[in-house]
Structure 1
Amino acid sequence: MSPTSADGGFEFVPDDRGGVTVLRDGHPQSHVDPADPELLVFEYVAQLAIGIDLLPPGPVAATHIGGAGLTLARYVQHTRPGSTQIVLEPDAALTDAVRGALPLPRGHRIRIRPQDGATGLPALRDDAADTLVLDAYDAGRVPADLLSPTAIAHYARVLKPGGLALLNLADEPDRRHLARALATIATCFPHAIVLATAEVMKGRRFGNYVVFASDSPIDIDEVRRRLPRLAAPATARPAAALRGTAKPFTDDDIQPSPAPPDPGKWRVR
């Protein structure tokens, strides 16, 4: 496959791994390998997949807030055939471009709704999902309304008892936004752990933090046993250790996650 472009500023760039990077306006959105859905190149996607693997064997019901290249939805379909999945992705042009260049496999049960999370969440049924994945960014930031107390309550409502919420967040090295997000998550989910690459967890640079949250205990030791399989060194910590005494967001003071730095601008403290 040669590099191709689509209307809307989308570009599909093949690599020597056999996959394709989806770019929008020059910025990577996703990496997809239709021939090998278990090839997860983006670090945070590989960490989210550990959460999927923690679920009991067999098909699952999964809800995704944010779709992009549908990388994780493809992973679920491949590793757990027969799974039913709902994807809330407001960018219909992106979805059309991805499905045209990187078609979904035959027999999939992935339903894509052209809605943002805040609009689509209230319509989702109670106790409908085994897992809910939040991986939604707008201009590089997690939208404020997806980390509000109202949104977190919807995540808990949609999940079945014992279900697992998987959230891809991002923050600066001081982690002030993450701490408040974790405090908000704790109002509905008594159990949570955080995964990140070693440099990000040490507070050396801006980066992604993947949160696993549930109403049931999460086996952090099992998560740690799986981390060495990842291409990028990563670690896991209890969420309580990172949230400290931070106060939860309220619907009046919620803010989007910090804007990512320009490449090369961040330095190790």
Structure 2
Amino acid sequence: MVRREPREPMPGCYPVSFGEVDLLRDLDRPSGWVISKDGVPQSYVDLEDPTYLDFEYVRLMADVIDLMTEGPLDAVHIGGCACTLPRYVAATRPGSRQIVAEPDGDLVQLVRDHLRLKSVPRLKVRIADGRSATAGLHDSSADLFVLDAFSGATMPIDLATGEYMGDVARVLRPAGTLLVNIADGKGLVFARRVLATIGGTFRHLALLAEPGVLRGRRFGNLIVAASRAELPLAGLTRKAAGGLTQARCLHGEDLSRFVAGAPPLNDGDPVVVPVPPPAVFG
């Protein structure tokens, strides 16, 4: 049998189910590729080195994953794009079984065609929105649940409510870990409400972000780690402070003060989802 060489990615603008995306080559890394939508970077992958994580917030999520119990993971990822974290998990924890839910079928096909998605072992991609995909998962079937779903630069509000967090908890095993990527800016009103919501379901929480974002001085990503079991807080604090991002890890009383007074989100609640200023993405 003749083995086919992987197709060479072709940079350009491509139509997808929900608009258009740009596939861009990283001029500094020949095997690095970025998917961008409406000028907002959505995913970065290095086709030769899946452990290389270019986006700072993704490195923070990987730090949490690295501190989980050794061995393969059963992982769920809500929000796929180029599947950066699933590639990382497959490379660092061989034998892991992973499910990705991504509602944009044409985007998934683009990633298959250009970014070697089929090369990721034991990965299943389902064309579905986050709530529908989660509802179809078995009870206590996941060690890791990653919620990194965005429409452009905003988080779908139906994936931030108490009702949805209850379904996520159903899918996670008792010691399982939830990772949530939140984007917010001045005042961090939305982030505080999401944290209050997650805290209504998961007892143990930690918040990871760069100091400038954590103080609400600029728009950026904040990573929530949550579990019904204790989190490796010492390790998270050390990794956050020692990484390239120089991030902080809030937990315990500091996190309680951060969240204090923020009302949780429920289905149907009115909420203003933060949108980044135009200058954020240049």
Name the TM-score, length of structure 2 as normaliser. 0.89
Shift of 1:219: 2.1
Counterpart residue identity of residue 271, structure 2: Q
Q: Shift in Å at residue 96 of structure 1?
A: 0.8
Match of 1:143 in 2: 156
Runs of 4+ in 1 over 6 A off after TM superposition: none
Q: Distance in 1 between matches of 2:241 and 2:29?
A: 21
1:117-151 deviation per Cα after TM superposition (whole angstroms, max 9, x unaligned): 02111111110100100000113111111011111
Is 1:17 matched up with 2:25? no
Q: 2:262 corresponds to which letter in structure 1?
A: A
Contact 1:148 1:254 in 2 (8 A): no
Counterpart check, 1:196 vs 2:209: yes
Partner of 1:104: 117
Does residue 210 (structure 1) correspond to residue 223 (structure 2)? The answer is: yes
Read off the aligned partner of 2:225 and give its amino acid letter: F
SS at match of 1:180: helix
Amino acid at match of 2:22: E
- Counterpart check, 1:64 vs 2:73: no
SS, match of residue 222 in structure 2: strand
Task: Give the corresponding residue for 2:271.
Answer: 255
Q: Which residue of 1 aligns with 2:100?
A: 87
Evaluate the alpha carbon distance shift between residue 24 and residue 130 of structure 1 in structure 2; reply closer, same or farther with a 3 A threshold: same
Distance in 2 (CA, whole Å) between partners of 1:139 and 1:265 is 12
C-alpha spacing 1:145/1:254, structure 2 compared with 1 (3 Å): farther
Question: Equivalents in 2 of 1:162, 1:14: separation in Å?
Answer: 39
Number of residues of Structure 1 aligned to a counterpart in Structure 2: 266
Q: CA deviation at 1:24?
A: 2.5
- Unpaired runs of 5+ residues, structure 1, are none
Deviations 1:184-231 (A, max 9, x none): 111110000000012111221111110000001112211121124532
Alignment match, 1:222: 235
CA contact (8 A) 2:79 2:102 kept: yes
Maintained 8 Å contact 2:38/2:152: no
CA contact (8 A) 2:34 2:42 kept: yes
Tell me the amino acid that sits aligned with residue 126 of structure 1: D
Query: What is the RMSD of the two structures over their aligned residues, measured on CA atoms?
Result: 1.9
1:6 maps onto 2:14 in alignment: yes
Which residue does the alignment assign to 2:133? Answer: 120
TM-score (norm 1): 0.93
In structure 2, what is the equivalent of residue 244 of structure 1? 260
- Kept in 1: contact 2:112–2:118 (CA 8 A): no
The Cα of 1:264 is off from its aligned counterpart by 5.2
Cα pair distance change 1:204/1:22, threshold 3 Å: same
For 1:129 and 1:244, the matched residues in 2 are separated by 30
* C-alpha distance in 2 between matches for 1:154 and 1:222: 28
- The answer to whether the Cα contact below 8 Å between 1:86 and 1:112 also exists between their aligned partners in 2 is yes
